[in-house]
Structure 1
Amino acid sequence: MHTERETAARAYIDALATHRADGVPFAARCTRIEFGIKTGFSGDHLRRSLNRGPQYRIIETTTDPEFTAEGDVLLARFDVITKPSLAGRRVCAHVAETFRFTDDGEIAHIHAVVRPFIKR
C-alpha cells in the first residue's frame, strides 16, 4: 500500500512516460529544479510540459520507483528509458527526485538529480 505522498509522486513519474499529467496533484506554485535550473514554474506549467513538451516525448517508460521518506520529503529513485536508439543503444537516465508537499498533499517542489547512462 502506498502513502498519499507516494501516490502523488507516482502520478508524476507515470506522467513522464504517458504524457497524461492532468491527474498529477501539483500545487499551483509548484516548481521543479534540474541541473540547478528551474524547469517547472507552476503546477500548470509542469502539467502542460508533461502533456505536450518535446523534452518529455522522447521518454518511452520509467522503471518502478523506490521511495524513501526522509523527514518532510519523499525521495523517489527510478530510471528513465528513452525511445530513440542508435545501433541498439539508448541514452537513458538514473533519476533521483526529491518531492516536497503542501499540507493538502499536493506536490509543492521537485528537485531532480539525473545521471545519464547507455542502455543496450
Structure 2
Amino acid sequence: MDEQVDVARAYLRALRSHNGNSVPIEPRAVRYEAGLKTAFSGDHLRRSLSRGPQYRLIEAIRDCVWSVDGDDVTADYLLDAGLLGRTLVTVRVVETFRIPRDDLRIHRIDAKIRRP
C-alpha cells in the first residue's frame, strides 16, 4: 500500500518539478480529465509532466488526503495556480491512479477538478 502511494506521490512531485522522468509510468498509460483523454501513452504523459505549459502555473499542491482500494490510489488535494508567485486560483483535484501492486507503475489516471 505505501509503495503504491509513493508512486502516486512521485507524479504529484513531478507536477511541481517538471521532471516526468522520475515517475514510474507504464508505456501504455492513459490519463482522463473530466472524462476527456488528456494523455495517450506513458511517453505522452511523461512529456506533458516535463514540458507541458499547463503545469507551469502550479504554485502549490497541499492538504493531500490519500486512500487505497486494491490497485486504485486516490489523492484528494488542493492545487494553487498562479503567476510570478501569486496565487490566482485554487481548485480541488481528485485523481485516481491505477497502480497494480505487482507492477508499481501508473497505468491510468482519472482526474476530476472542481472549485473547493
Choose which of 68, 85, 91 in structure 1 pairs with 2:89: 91
Counterpart position of 1:71: 70
User: How far apart are the structure 2 equivalents of 1:89 and 1:22?
Assistant: 27
**TM-score normalised per structure 1:** 0.86
Count of aligned pairs: 114
Counterpart position of 1:62: 61
Q: CA RMSD in A?
A: 1.8
Which runs of at least 4 in structure 1 moved beyond 3 Å after TM superposition?
A: none
Alignment of 1:1-120 (within 5 A): 3-84=2-83, 90-102=88-100, 103-117=102-116
Indicate conservation of the 8 Å contact 1:25/1:107, yes or no. yes
CA distance 1:89–1:29, change in 2 (3 Å): closer
Secondary structure class of the residue paired with 1:6: helix
User: How far apart are the structure 1 equivalents of 2:96 and 2:61?
Assistant: 16
User: How far apart are the structure 2 equivalents of 1:43 and 1:84?
Assistant: 28
Give unpaired runs (5+ residues) of structure 2.
none
Larger Rg: 1
Q: Percent identity?
A: 44
